[in-house]
Amino acid sequence: MAQRGNPVVRAALTTFIVLVVIGVAWSFFQATKNKPTPTSPPAAPPSGALGAAPGSSPERPATGPSDPGEQTPATPAGSEAPQAVPSVSLEGLTATVFGPWTPDSLGALAPDSSVRQLLEIDPVGAGVRALSLGRYFGSVKRETNVRVQETHNYTDSTGARAALVPFAALGVQINGTLVNLYGANLWRPVESAPAGTIEAIITNNAGQAVARVERSYALTPDSYEILLSQRVQNLTDADLRIRWFQFGPVDLPNDTDAGTSKPQSARDMRRVRFGYLLKPTADPTRRAVFATDFLWPRTKALGKTNRATGLYQDAMPIWPNPTSEDAGLTLTWAAMTNRYFGVAAHALVQPASPSASFTWVERVERVVLHTSIPAGSGTVYAPVMGMKFQSSEIAVAPGSGADLAMGIYAGPLERDLIDADPVASAAGVPEIVVYNSGGPCAFCTFPVLTSGLLWLLETTHGLTADWAIAIIILVVIVRTALHPINRWSQIRMQRFAKQMQDMAPKQKKLQERYGDDRQKLQQEVAKLWREEGVNPAGMLGCLPMFLQTPIWIALYATLYYAFELRQQPAFYGLFQSISGGSWAFLADLAEPDHALWFQGKGFHIPLISGMMGPITGLNILPLVWGAVFWVHQKYLTPPSTGTLTPEQEQQQKIIKVMSVVMLPVFMYNAPSGLLVYFLTNSVLAIIENHWIREHVKKHDLLNPDKYKKQKKPAGGFMQRLQKLAEDRQRQASAAKGGRNPNPRGPQQRPPRR
User: What type of residue sits at position 480?
Assistant: T
The model's confidence at residue 47, banded by pLDDT at 50, 70 and 90, is very low
The pLDDT, as a whole number, for residue 719 is: 57
626: three-class secondary structure by DSSP? helix
Q: Verify that 21 and 61 share a domain, yes or no.
A: no
Q: Verify that 450 and 430 share a domain, yes or no.
A: no
Q: Verify that 13 and 161 share a domain, yes or no.
A: no
What are the tens digits of pLDDT across the range 417-446? 999 999 999 999 999 999 887 766 666 666
Q: Is residue 747 situated within a structural domain?
A: no
Q: Verify that 155 and 278 share a domain, yes or no.
A: yes
Q: Is residue 513 situated within a structural domain?
A: no
What is the mean predicted confidence (pLDDT) over 717-741? 60
Q: Verify that 386 and 458 share a domain, yes or no.
A: no
Find how far residue 301's CA is from the centre of its chain.
14
Domain end, chosen from 672, 687, 707, is at: 707
Q: Verify that 17 and 67 share a domain, yes or no.
A: no
The model's confidence at residue 648, banded by pLDDT at 50, 70 and 90, is low
Q: What are phi and psi of 377, to 5 degrees?
A: -90, -5
Q: Is residue 165 situated within a structural domain?
A: yes
Q: Is residue 61 situated within a structural domain?
A: yes
The model's confidence at residue 202, banded by pLDDT at 50, 70 and 90, is very high
- For residue 251, pLDDT over 80 is answered with yes
Q: Verify that 554 and 585 share a domain, yes or no.
A: yes
Q: Verify that 275 and 370 share a domain, yes or no.
A: yes
The pLDDT, as a whole number, for residue 553 is: 81
Q: Is residue 17 situated within a structural domain?
A: yes
Structural domain count, the chain: 2
Q: Verify that 163 and 312 share a domain, yes or no.
A: yes
Q: Which of 34-43, 399-408, 532-541 has the highest mean pLDDT?
A: 399-408
What are the tens digits of pLDDT across the range 454-513? 999 999 999 999 999 999 999 999 889 888 888 888 787 777 777 777 787 888 888 888
What is the mean predicted confidence (pLDDT) over 311-340? 95
What are the tens digits of pLDDT across the range 11-27? 555 665 556 556 555 55
Least confident of 262-266, 303-307, 643-647: 262-266
Report how far residue 438's alpha carbon sits from residue 452's, in angstroms, rounded to the nearest whole number: 19
284-321 residues labelled b (16+ CB within 10 A) or e (exposed):
eebbebbbeebbbbbeebbeebeeeeebbebbeebbbe
- For residue 167, pLDDT over 70 is answered with yes
The pLDDT, as a whole number, for residue 1 is: 41
Domain end, chosen from 691, 707, 723, is at: 707
Q: Verify that 22 and 100 share a domain, yes or no.
A: no
Number of residues in the chain: 753
Report how far residue 134's alpha carbon sits from residue 120's, in angstroms, rounded to the nearest whole number: 13
Q: Verify that 693 and 658 share a domain, yes or no.
A: yes
Q: Is residue 2 situated within a structural domain?
A: no
Q: Is residue 572 situated within a structural domain?
A: yes
Domain end, chosen from 707, 729, 745, is at: 707
Percent of the chain exceeding pLDDT 70 equals 73
What are the tens digits of pLDDT across the range 517-548? 888 888 888 888 877 777 665 555 566 667 66
Q: Is residue 278 situated within a structural domain?
A: yes
Q: Verify that 703 and 619 share a domain, yes or no.
A: yes
- For residue 641, pLDDT over 60 is answered with no
What residues make up the domain containing 664?
A: 7-31+446-482+548-561+568-707
Report how far residue 248's alpha carbon sits from residue 226's, in angstroms, rounded to the nearest whole number: 13
**Cis peptide bond upstream of 58, omega within 30:** no
**By the 8 A CB rule, do 600 and 263 touch?**
no
CATH number of the domain where residue 406 is located: 2.70.98
